[in-house]
Amino acid sequence: MKKLLVVVAGIIFLLPGCSSVQKMAPEQQFKISFPQVKYETFIQASVQGVYEVYDGQRILY
């Protein structure tokens, strides 16, 4: 039982270090995800976490 507790504790402490996710700005994430979309403006919408992208003809959210 004690060994199991040590193993579980070790896993819990090591997992956050394994995450190599880098926080990118939303505009950079959009450019990487949709490289074919050319846009004029990229602004935050009135809803937190939602962005408005204007490509000259359409508004994308």
19-37 pLDDT, tens digit per residue, is 555 688 999 999 999 999 9
The pLDDT of residue 23 is: 81
The domain total for the chain is 1
Question: Is the residue at 7 inside a domain?
Answer: no
User: Which residue range(s) make up the domain with 39?
Assistant: 22-61
Spatial neighbors of 54 by CB under 8 A, at least 6 apart, are 39, 40, 41, 42, 60
Question: Is the residue at 49 inside a domain?
Answer: yes
Question: Is the residue at 10 inside a domain?
Answer: no
Under the banding of pLDDT at 50, 70 and 90, the label for residue 1 is confident
Q: Is the pTM of this model over 0.85?
A: no
Hey, what's the torsion of the CAs at 30, 35, 40, 43, to 10 degrees? 0
